[in-house]
Chain A
Amino acid sequence: MSFPWAKQYEPKLPLTRWLDERLPVPRLVYNSLGGGYPVPRNLNYFWNFGVLAGAALAIQIITGIVLAMHYAANGAVAFDSVESIMRDVNAGWFLRYAHANGASMFFIVVYTHIFRGLYYGSYKAPREMVWLLGVVIFLLMMATAFMGYVLPWGQMSFWGAQVITGFFSAIPLVGDTIRIWLLGGFAPDNAALNRFFSLHYLLPFVIAGVIILHIWALHIPGSNNPTGVDVKGEQDTVPFHPYYTAKDGFGLGIFLLVFASLLFFFPNYLGHPDNYIPANPLSTPAHIVPEWYFWPFYAILRAFTADFILPAKLWGVLAMFGSILLLFFLPWLDSSPVRSMNYRPKARIAFWVLVADILVLGYCGGAPANAFYVILSQICAAYYFAHFLIILPIISRSERPRPLPNSITEAVLANHGGTSPAQTALETSPTSSTPHAAH
């Protein structure tokens, strides 16, 4: 499944040889994250975010298991049990703030990872399966994060559960039945809290399983790279270890720096004050918002304010789910053979418009639902759907991509003061170019 020049695992000690013949786990690790996995040599820092996402999941699972030792999933005591973690459990405040802010870090990292994939065309053949599994992971993460936010049983927890399960009541005919089934009652209460806790504990392990598939699927074609050009030979790659383990180690340091600043100095910055008020089914907060990582989708939901054939509420819910589900079709919507946006001038503009669009949607999703923000969300939501479903398919057919470098190595050397890849490619014979002095 790897390149023919991949280094082979050679156990040296008798014990590792014995193990390799019976349960070749070290070989598996060597081939997937060790010296046996050849990786393009030109990956930039955006390629750190896959490993960082794995690190973020590990942090969440470890802190989560520990918090579950102290948390009680019952409406009468859930809020107080979280506060007892914050006040009385040894290092409890550290563990809980690490888990709460770790969730934000996980989303920051995963969003960067997704946008990297979008920019460099990592979703395209032959990596469609990697992308599809990635979207599955994203959906599982969203479900896990939502259920985790319910557990402290503050006001936002309760009303978040109320609103999100309310989505399902938009389904015609069976909607209310489904909602009551999901909650195990007519409003969020012990039954809902307990099942959310159970699933919140389960899903991260499902995510870990899908991540294994995601990495497996990635290792069949190998990693993409900033040029989007296929690996042509051994000189295009370096072994994952030590080259990318070293680079990921540095990336992990920067990640931890941001994480620690958030955790120790601004632990409640990304949270909402209302979640420090115990859940009260009789009083809705003035301004219900989900956690920041759901804001763009929340803005899409709120943008649908008009009935047209279907009721507005159903349109909103369909669009919100559709905005994620359409990612499953992306590999076939974008038919351009060129992967990297570096060589696709028009698609690149559309990409950056999309990034700005999603940032604005995010801002609108966190803002109060007044006329100005609703109008802004409507325009941005329209672009969001148009981008993926109309603009990108059209651009991918009509656009004339810039010339690609002939190989990764050529692009790298050009970057280091040789000729530009475009220049080289334009010339009839690539060997005729002469490298200039290194910069």
Chain B
Amino acid sequence: MATVDDMVPPGESPEPFHEEAHDPRRRDFINIAAVSFAGVGAVAIVLPLINQMNPSADVLAQSTTEIDLSKILPGQAIKTSFRKQPLFVRNLTPKEISEADAVDISTLRDPQTLEQRTKAGKKNWLITLGVCTHLGCVPLGAGEGENKGPFGGYFCPCHGSAYDTAARIRKGPAPSNLHVPDYAFNSDTVVTVG
């Protein structure tokens, strides 16, 4: 019985994968190029896999909401929804406006005047998201008979954040005022939010 080594004809090394010394740089280049190209391809494939988690076209399309203000009397507020989040629309009374204006904004955690938070000439219309800036609960105060908190605006029952009549944070853990979304008056009684 012939042994294994006998089968190897002369001229063929029994070591089939020995390294040779000629021009290693040129040799490595193509391997590195192929692997890098594959890496670029893999990254390109990952992009749609990440992007698919962004809001889809139908979600983005619902991002404007029209609101009819004609039925909201001074002192009243409504709770509606914008991008599946609660939205507070409040018709401030002159007393509430003057209360808000009376505050020295340098004492505020998130200094803003009521003017900055409403549209010019429509200072009585306070439109904010109903999402507490602390951890996202819905503050009370928009519904009839709800606890408006110590500052007459909104009060978040989760962790006790109190907002004033301009929906600015006055007390409690929330870091900033209730967020004012982008909106525009289409007419005196209709606003488009978003």
Where the two chains meet, the residues of A that have a C-beta atom closer than 8 Å to any C-beta of B are 41, 62, 66, 69-70, 84, 87-92, 94-95, 232-235, 237-239, 242-243, 246, 249, 406-407, 409-410, 413, 418, 429-431, 433-435
Contacts and interface: CB of A to CB of B under 8 A. Distances in A.
B48 A89 contact: no
Contacts of A237: 16
Contacts of A406: 2, 7
Given A90-B56, A239-B17, A435-B9, 20 more contacts: A69-B53, A84-B56, A88-B59, A91-B48, A92-B52, A94-B48, A235-B15, A237-B16, A242-B31, A246-B31, A249-B34, A409-B8, A409-B16, A410-B7, A413-B9, A413-B12, A430-B2, A430-B7, A431-B7, A435-B11
Nearest to B34: A249
Nearest to A89: B56
Contacts of B21: none
Contacts, number: 80
B52 A95 contact: yes
B102 interface: no
B5 interface: yes
A90 B54 contact: yes
A90 B51 contact: yes
Nearest to A242: B31
B16 A235 contact: yes
25 contacts: A66-B49, A69-B52, A88-B57, A88-B59, A90-B48, A90-B51, A90-B54, A91-B48, A91-B51, A94-B48, A95-B52, A232-B7, A235-B4, A235-B12, A237-B16, A238-B16, A239-B17, A243-B17, A249-B34, A249-B38, A406-B2, A409-B16, A410-B7, A429-B2, A431-B7
Contacts of B57: 87-90
B188 interface: no
Contacts of A87: 57
Contacts of B20: none
B14 interface: yes
B58 interface: yes
Nearest to A232: B4
B52 A91 contact: yes
B179 to A, nearest CB: 25
Given A90-B48, A91-B52, A234 B6 contact: no
Interface string B174-190: 00000000000000000
B4 A92 contact: no
A410 B14 CA distance: 11
A88 B57 CA distance: 5
B6 A66 contact: no
A409 B7 contact: yes
Nearest to B48: A91
Contact of B16 (A41, A92, A94, A431): A41
A361 B23 CA distance: 54
Contacts of A246: 31
Interface in B4-50: 4-9, 11-17, 31, 34, 38, 48-49
A62 B5 CA distance: 48
A62 B49 contact: yes
A345 B13 CA distance: 33
A81 to B, nearest CB: 11
Interface residues of B, number: 27
A87 B60 CA distance: 13
Nearest to A235: B14
Contacts of B53: 69
B49 A433 contact: no
Nearest to A429: B2
A70 B11 contact: no
Nearest to B17: A238
A314 B4 CA distance: 55
B39 to A, nearest CB: 12
B52 A66 contact: yes
B56 A92 contact: yes
Given A92-B52, A235-B15, A430 B6 contact: yes
B11 to A, nearest CB: 7
A84 B52 CA distance: 12
A439 to B, nearest CB: 15
A343 B5 CA distance: 24
Nearest to A410: B7
A70 B52 contact: yes
Residue with the highest number of chain A CB atoms closer than 10 Å, among B31, B38, B52 = B52
Nearest to A65: B49
B12 to A, nearest CB: 6
B5 A233 contact: yes
A407 B7 contact: yes
Contact of A88 (B4, B12, B56): B56
Nearest to A434: B9
A392 to B, nearest CB: 31
Nearest to B9: A435
A88 B5 CA distance: 66
B17 A90 contact: no
A87 B54 CA distance: 14
A430 B1 CA distance: 10
B40 to A, nearest CB: 13
Contacts of B14: 233-235
B9 A433 contact: yes
Contacts of B12: 235, 409, 413
Contacts of A70: 52, 56
Contacts of A418: 9
A95 B2 contact: no
